């Protein structure tokens, strides 16, 4: 006999299964090359993998302190100082989290009250709006300007109300590959100056900027940092997205509140990877070489696609490049992404999935964090369209 379960009044009634899950499931069902969900199809950093294995066999298998393994926090603080000239406190201003998304979610949960407004930019990484809604807050959506995907700062100024509690930015940007310039950061700083608005900065692609462009971390701007939760992911740095380990950097007062949420949620994160990263992070070359490694992949893919009928938009960072396809099809992006997975065996992500109302500029996102042969075979198929 089956017993009825109580009905749930959904916290997220409009939210569907993530596009990453949908497209990866379809790719595996049809045996397609997966340029959709953003993850490398090549091995992670071998030295780091060996250090993690050693940590397990050496007995580092119990809880670390709630905020994370202190030597790892110290290594992060050194890296932050080296790259951004900001000496943050490992004791009070860094917390290790189970991935970058968790850091972002915890930051939202730390600061939001029901009815608060959060300004975000669409196309937006798909976790932001559900994170805001589940906290009873209101997403205020502004559009990045197609096709450059730049922020219109006048619109930001105009969108601020007494209820604005936070702004979330993401540079290098997923899905568009655009990045924020120093001028953007200074404009944001002046807009927020004197307000009570928090900034959440999703910087999981910090090491992935191309063509000599620099990443303008919030950590470089002390006045901005004073109101910020800056979120990172190790998965993107060492090609181990499945490790789901990241961290948040915030001023001590903000971090104190962040930890109140974190300590009764994750409490602490997987120990062996933290032991390994504490050591490995000291080698700056490993993360500093990532941009040129990934830029070569971007250029290989774009080179092999030069005779295709896709029109590629610039990608200055992240491991994604977007393209329009008006010479190929008039289908909506989601339909086309599904169709191409089935018909030519190449999965992509429709950028329309990053707009809450499905706004469609008919753009597909391609992940180029793949083996060269994967990119070559995918391009061969795509060029036939
Ligand atoms: N933010 C952005 C923009 C991302 O692309 C991702 C993706 N992986 C994340 C956050 C989440 O990172 P993590 O897997 O460490 O949770
Ligand atoms: N960040 C990855 C992407 O944009 C996916 C992460 C996930 O599947 N949640 O493709």
- In the chain, DSSP finds a helix count (H) and a strand count (E) of 14, 13
Q: What are 289's two structure tokens?
A: 């070489």
Pairing mode, strands 320-324 and 363-367: antiparallel
Q: How many CB atoms lie within 10 A of CB 77?
A: 19
What is the pLDDT, as a whole number, of residue 267? 97
Residue 152 and residue 157: Cα distance in Å, rounded?
A: 9
Does 170 contact ligand 2 (Cβ within 6 A)? Answer: no
Those residues whose C-beta lies under 8 Å from the C-beta of residue 263, and which sit 6 or more positions away, are: 66
Binning pLDDT at 50, 70 and 90, where does residue 180 land?
very high
What is the pLDDT, as a whole number, of residue 369? 98
Q: What are 55's two structure tokens?
A: 């940590």
Ligand 1 atom with minimal separation from the 39 CA: 8
Does 172 contact ligand 2 (Cβ within 6 A)? Answer: no
Which residue has the CA at smallest separation from atom 3 of ligand 1?
Answer: 174
Pairing mode, strands 349-350 and 363-367: antiparallel
Those residues whose C-beta lies under 8 Å from the C-beta of residue 353, and which sit 6 or more positions away, are: 19, 126, 333, 334
How many CA atoms within 13 Å lie on the side-chain side of 33?
A: 21
Virtual torsion, Cα 303, 313, 357, 187, nearest 10 deg: 140
Q: Report how far ligand 1's centroid is from the alpha carbon of 100 (Å).
A: 5
- Cα separation values, 367 from 61, 156, 162, 175, 380, Å: 34, 29, 39, 9, 16
What is the pLDDT, as a whole number, of residue 217? 98
Residue from 239, 241, 351 whose mutation best tests the ligand 2 pocket (most atoms within 8 A of CB): 241
Mean pLDDT of the chain: 98
Domains annotated on the chain, with CATH: 19-38+288-382 (3.90.1150.10), 46-282 (3.40.640.10)
Residue 346 and residue 16: Cα distance in Å, rounded?
A: 23
Those residues whose C-beta lies under 8 Å from the C-beta of residue 164, and which sit 6 or more positions away, are: 116, 117, 118, 119, 140, 195, 197
What is the pLDDT, as a whole number, of residue 231? 99
What is the pLDDT, as a whole number, of residue 264? 97
What is the pLDDT, as a whole number, of residue 1? 72
Q: Is 64 helix (H, G, I), strand (E, B) or coil?
A: coil
* Closest ligand relative to 349 C-alpha: 2
8-state DSSP, 172: S
What is the pLDDT, as a whole number, of residue 159? 98
What is the pLDDT, as a whole number, of residue 153? 98
Q: What are 264's two structure tokens?
A: 């009764």
Residue from 20, 128, 235, 245 whose mutation best tests the ligand 2 pocket (most atoms within 8 A of CB): 20
Over residues 15-44, the mean pLDDT reads 97
Report whether pLDDT(270) > 80: yes
Over residues 91-107, the mean pLDDT reads 98
Ligand 1 atom with minimal separation from the 234 CA: 15
Binning pLDDT at 50, 70 and 90, where does residue 179 land?
very high
Residue 327 and residue 46: Cα distance in Å, rounded?
A: 42
Report whether pLDDT(27) > 80: yes
Those residues whose C-beta lies under 8 Å from the C-beta of residue 269, and which sit 6 or more positions away, are: 64, 68, 96, 97, 98, 245
pLDDT tens digits, one per residue of 352-374:
999 999 999 999 999 999 999 99
Share of the chain above pLDDT 70, in %: 100
Residue 296 and residue 293: Cα distance in Å, rounded?
A: 5
Does 144 contact ligand 1 (Cβ within 6 A)? Answer: no
Ligand 2 atom with minimal separation from the 21 CA: 8
């Amino acid at each position: 006999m089956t017993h009825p379960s109580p009905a749930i009044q959904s916290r997220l009634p409009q939210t569907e299964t993530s596009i990453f899950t949908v497209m990866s499931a379809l790719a595996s069902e049809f045996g397609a090359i997966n340029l959709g969900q953003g993850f490398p199809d090549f091995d992670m950093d071998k030295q780091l993998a060996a250090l993690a294995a050693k940590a397990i066999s050496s007995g580092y298998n119990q809880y670390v302190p709630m905020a994370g393994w202190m030597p790892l926090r110290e290594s992060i603080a050194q890296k932050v100082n080296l790259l951004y000239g900001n000496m943050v406190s490992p004791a009070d201003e860094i917390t290790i989290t189970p991935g970058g998304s968790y850091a972002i979610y915890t930051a939202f949960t730390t600061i939001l009250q029901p009815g608060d407004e959060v300004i975000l930019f669409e196309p937006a990484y798909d976790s932001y709006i559900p994170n805001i809604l589940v906290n009873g807050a209101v997403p205020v959506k502004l559009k990045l300007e197609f096709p450059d995907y730049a922020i219109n700062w006048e619109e930001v100024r105009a969108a601020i109300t007494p209820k604005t509690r936070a702004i979330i930015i993401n540079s290098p940007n997923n899905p568009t590959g655009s990045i924020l310039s120093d001028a953007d950061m200074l404009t944001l700083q002046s807009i927020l100056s004197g307000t009570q608005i928090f900034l959440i900065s999703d910087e999981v692609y910090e090491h992935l900027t191309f063509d000599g462009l620099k990443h303008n971390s919030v950590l470089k701007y002390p006045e901005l940092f004073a109101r910020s939760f800056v979120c990172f992911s190790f998965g993107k740095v060492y090609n181990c997205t499945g490790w789901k380990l990241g961290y948040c950097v915030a001023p001590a007062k903000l971090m104190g509140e962040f930890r109140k949420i974190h300590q009764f949620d994750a409490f602490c994160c997987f120990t062996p990877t933290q032991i390994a990263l504490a050591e490995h992070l000291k080698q700056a070359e490993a993360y500093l070489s990532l941009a040129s490694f990934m830029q070569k992949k971007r250029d290989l893919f774009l080179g092999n696609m030069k005779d295709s009928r896709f029109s590629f938009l610039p990608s200055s960072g992240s491991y994604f490049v977007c393209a329009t396809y008006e010479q190929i099809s008039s289908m909506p992006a989601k339909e086309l992404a599904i169709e191409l997975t089935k018909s030519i065996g190449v999965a992509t992500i429709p950028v329309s999935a990053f707009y809450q109302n499905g706004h469609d500029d008919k753009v597909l996102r391609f992940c180029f964090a793949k083996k060269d042969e994967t990119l070559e075979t995918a391009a061969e198929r795509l060029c036939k369209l």
